[in-house]
Structure 1
Amino acid sequence: MSNLLSIAIEAATQAGKLIKENFGADLTVNEMQRHDIKLELDVRSQKLITDIILGHNPDHAILGEEEGDIGGNGDIEWIVDPIDGTVNFYFNIPHFCVSIAARNRETKESLVGVIYDPMMNELWTVEKGGVPQLNGKPISASARAEMKEAVVTVGFSKSKSALDAGFERYKRIAYEVRKTRMLGSAALALAYIACGRLDAYVEEQISLWDIAAGVMLVEAAGGKIMTQASTIKPGTMFICATNGKLDIEPYL
């Protein structure tokens, strides 16, 4: 195990412990948006992760959902989502995770990815050139290649334009597949594709910290990722992730 992966696992599991301890507790809401919620616990989880990473390597940079760009000017950049699935967490729905990735700051090459679901105690890990794992066991994407066999998750984003585009896409997909699911965590959607539980995930408007670790997992597990700049909100992106065998693009 590389030093970077060891740090990512330490940070993800410690943050996961923190958020699990607060599951079901009274929560401080920093911001209640129309289609999103920002919690004080998001900030606390981000700070815990930041302290662990910079405690090991003060020169590393961190791009996090809650703090923006912080840290040093070293050649490693960490991409952190301290609670992916905050709305689920707030409403006591036990489907959320911590997502941490590291990449080369200059080349943007992915180096490690970790996703931790503290409620299920499931830890997905991957590092450059390695085999993706779930709780230490190798995983791979599913072999399902036909839409009629597939289970697909569709994310619905946080603006009217993104929602409208998602509704139209959802109709095209839902008629063709075995089942659709709306789960509320982009990182876990990607982790589930990597280990064969889901076959595809589509969302109109997503941020880098939501998907950085998951993209690396999916690609290492034999899946395929398509991203492009969002036409709806600058700085976000459209994503379509599959098991690498399902041809979903005609329905997008």
Structure 2
Amino acid sequence: MREAKDEGAREDTAVESLKDELLAVALDAARQAGALLRDGRPADLAVAATKTSSVDVVTEMDLAAEKLITGLLTAARPHDGVLGEEGASVEGTSGVRWVVDPLDGTVNYLYGRPEWSVSIAAELTGTGERLVGVVEAPMRGETYHAALGRGARLGGEVVHCRPSPPLAQALVATGFGYLRGRRAAQAAVVGALLPRVRDIRRGGSAAIDLCDVACGRLDGYYERGLNPWDLAAGDLIAREAGALTGGRPGEAGSGELMVAASPGVFGPLREALEELGAWHD
């Protein structure tokens, strides 16, 4: 019995040490990439390619930031896997995978708007459990981060989601896809949801929206069509701040539907979204 307890204690210590290491690496990579994007943005910034449609753009800076991040991650932890939005894909052998969005809110960045971020999360490849998440928002001068079981922080300060109001008094954020048919469906959901809540915001960076739920700047957030790199870090940060996150009833948040909200808002918001068909186009 004593040996089993000692072994468990050693495993716990190893996991906590791993979180420390991963968080330090993620913070450094996110800050360096954020500085590159903020300070290196060319005056004649151009679209390098498109993704799902002609309005879903990739800029030269998305590519440069992902190259910087993946280089830093590989140098620090060469055996980890990497999944990046702009094409970085490494299987890895360590049991840890990085999920990277080098520039979340590319259209905002292209237009010189401040709501964009760098999002980096680390997860266990066997279970998908996220261990650390960092969202760097350079134009806000803010770094949000969390490690599993340790709470969420904005810089050095612990943050919590807001006390839950009734849904009718909740400030909710959302986002829109880039495919025409999906946008039309999402607009219909917004039109039906708006009379049921205090107001709706559309910021343009899913990672920042999730962190705003964590920091009490929003009561809730939902979106259809996210990718793993859009939500990986922000989801952990929101949950560690006391928010609830998920997808359709009984499911985890995913590309089908992502919902995050303070505990008292989460259920009514998800029920409303289920009723309105927010999970399909």
Fold in common (TM above 0.5)? yes
Q: Output the CA distance in 2 between the equivalents of 1:100 and 1:118.
A: 14
Report matched runs for 1:51-200 at 5 Å: 51-70=71-90, 72-200=92-220
CA positional deviation for 1:86: 0.3
SS in 1 for 2:218: coil
Structure having the larger proportion of residues in helix: 2
Q: Which moved more, 1:171-180 or 1:66-75?
A: 66-75
SS in 2 for 1:35: coil
Structure 2 residues without counterparts, runs of 5 or longer: 1-18, 249-253, 274-281
Asked if residue 204 in structure 1 is aligned to residue 212 in structure 2, the reply is no
Number of the residue aligned with 2:33: 15
Q: Output the CA distance in 2 between the equivalents of 1:145 and 1:40.
A: 42
Number of the residue aligned with 1:239: 258
Q: Is the 8 A contact 2:22 2:132 kept in 1?
A: yes
Q: Which moved more, 1:166-175 or 1:101-110?
A: 166-175
Q: Output the CA distance in 2 between the equivalents of 1:238 and 1:185.
A: 16
From 69, 75, 78, the counterpart of 1:49: 69
CA positional deviation for 1:35: 2.7
Asked if residue 6 in structure 1 is aligned to residue 24 in structure 2, the reply is yes
Q: Output the CA distance in 2 between the equivalents of 1:128 and 1:134.
A: 15
Number of the residue aligned with 2:278: none
SS in 1 for 2:134: strand
Q: Which moved more, 1:63-72 or 1:52-61?
A: 63-72
Q: Is the 8 A contact 1:28 1:41 kept in 2?
A: no
Q: Is the 8 A contact 2:41 2:61 kept in 1?
A: no
Q: TM-score, normalised by structure 1?
A: 0.93
CA positional deviation for 1:168: 1.8
Q: TM-score, normalised by structure 2?
A: 0.84
CA positional deviation for 1:24: 6.0
Q: Output the CA distance in 2 between the equivalents of 1:73 and 1:162.
A: 38
Structure 1 residues without counterparts, runs of 5 or longer: 229-234
Asked if residue 248 in structure 1 is aligned to residue 266 in structure 2, the reply is no
SS in 1 for 2:247: strand
Q: Output the CA distance in 2 between the equivalents of 1:99 and 1:189.
A: 12
SS in 1 for 2:54: coil
Q: CA RMSD in A?
A: 1.5
Q: Which moved more, 1:117-126 or 1:164-173?
A: 164-173
Q: Is the 8 A contact 2:224 2:255 kept in 1?
A: no
Q: Output the CA distance in 1 between the equivalents of 2:195 and 2:41.
A: 36
CA positional deviation for 1:28: 3.3
Percent of matched pairs sharing the same residue: 34
Structure having the larger proportion of residues in strand: 1
Cα deviation 1:99-158 (Å, max 9, x = unaligned)? 000001111111000001011110001001101000110001111331222111121112
Q: Output the CA distance in 1 between the equivalents of 2:217 and 2:255.
A: 26
Q: Output the CA distance in 1 between the equivalents of 2:74 and 2:271.
A: 44
Q: Output the CA distance in 2 between the equivalents of 1:131 and 1:118.
A: 22
Q: Output the CA distance in 2 between the equivalents of 1:24 and 1:68.
A: 23
Number of the residue aligned with 2:13: none
SS in 2 for 1:212: helix
CA positional deviation for 1:71: 5.7
Q: Is the 8 A contact 2:145 2:153 kept in 1?
A: yes
SS in 1 for 2:49: strand
SS in 2 for 1:77: strand
Larger Rg: 2
